[in-house]
Amino acid sequence: MNVNLVGFLLAAGALLLAVLLILLRPLWRSSPRGQAVVDRHEANLSILRDELRELEKSRAEGLLDEKSLAQARDDLQRRLLEESGPEATEAAGSCTPSASGKRTAIALIVAIPLAAAGGYALLGNPSALDPARTRAQAGAQEIDAMLRRLAEHLATNPDDMPGWILLARSYKTLGRFSEAAEAFGRAEAALGGDPVLLADYAEVLALAGGSFSGKPDALLARALGAAPDEPQVLFVAGAAASARRDFAAAVDYWGRLLPRLDPASEEARALGAAVEQARRMLDGKREEAEN
């Protein structure tokens, strides 16, 4: 498990715990109604005690005779028993959490984490926490930002030929062939006899337009004339020959390039397969011609 994922889970767990505490505290704590019953009960008992003390004081001062005092004391004792009886005790006991409140709290403890996990599984993006993916996205964003800055620079400095070439080759690397062809066109006067740049320009024109016919072939001819053994020139020349079904030329160009590649590389394997395919097509054409 990567560090980003652990950090995310810890933060999410802390947030979930805080939400649960906020939601469950009112359900678990004592009922306000029960607390009111307790407070009223204690107040009534205090009042009765005060009344009893007042009766004793009145008797001592001669304001009440024995009969009146006994009658008043009996009345107070009856009221005191009512306040302390089973019904009053049961009412005071209602200050504990209700059964329904506990059930609701337990249900929320189970349901909220499950709902959060299920919602994230359906709507979230766990792969966004993958460091490799994050770095790739950041790298792509940085490249896009640099290309935008370069394009803005060239919009105000159109005579910056090296800048146009850099932009063109960057677009080509990203597979944005139409934009690469346009940028090469702005720098065409500065390409001169550079065989690699001429081959690159020919390639992006063909990829953007779907054919080597016309200007791409003319650019490629210039490149072959300047450097017939340049690897990039040989590669593009073989692609152009294969596109026009000149498989003999494709085998020649690519066959001369293949020994110069690392035999264990993916490029060598792909080019070797292309050479074999071109040879089979060439053999097929020869057989058709003989028949």
CATH number at residue 169: 1.25.40.10
Amino acid, res. 106? I
Question: At which of 84, 111, 129 does a domain end?
Answer: 129
The structure tokens listed for 161 are 């030929």
So what's the pLDDT on residue 33?
Answer: 47
Averaged pLDDT score across all residues of the chain: 76
69 and 162 fall within a common domain: no
The CA distance from 188 to 119, in Å, is: 55
Task: Check residues 2 and 235 and name the one with the higher pLDDT.
Answer: 235
Q: What is the residue range of 63's domain?
A: 3-129
Tell me the H-state helices in 124-176: 131-156, 161-173
Is residue 144 very low, low, confident or very high in pLDDT (cuts 50, 70, 90)?
confident
Give me the number of domains the chain comprises: 2
280 & 140 share domain: yes
Residues 275 and 165 in one domain: yes
Lowest mean pLDDT among 105-114, 231-240, 266-275: 105-114
Residue 148 shares a structural domain with residue 89:
no
pLDDT given at position 190: 93
pLDDT tens string 5-62 = 555 556 556 655 665 565 556 555 544 444 444 455 566 566 666 666 676 666 666 6
Residues 135 and 120 in one domain: no
211 shares its domain with 189 = yes
- Is pLDDT of 94 > 50? no
Report the pLDDT value the prediction gives residue 225, as an integer from 0 to 100. Answer: 95
| Pair (202, 185) in one structural domain | yes
The pLDDT tens digits for 49-85 are: 666 667 666 666 666 566 666 666 666 666 555 555 5
Domain boundary residue, one of 129, 158, 189: 129
Residues 45 and 181 in one domain: no
What are the C-alpha distances in Å from 21 to residues 24, 111, 117, 290?
A: 5, 14, 18, 88
**Domain co-membership, 102 together with 144:** no
**Residue 71 and residue 147 share a domain:** no
Q: How far apart are CA 169 and CA 166, in angstroms?
A: 5
Which amino acid does the sequence have at 179? E
Does 283 score more than 90 pLDDT?
A: no
Q: Answer with the one of 129, 150, 181 that is the final residue of a domain.
A: 129
pLDDT of 91 reads 46
Do 164 and 125 lie in a common domain?
A: no
Q: Indicate whether 195 and 109 sit together in one domain.
A: no
User: Angle of helix 215-226 relative to helix 195-209, nearest 10 degrees?
Assistant: 160
Identify whether the C-beta of residue 168 lies closer than 8 Å to the C-beta of residue 204: yes
Q: Which residues contact 72 (CB under 8 A, 6 or more apart)?
A: 55, 64
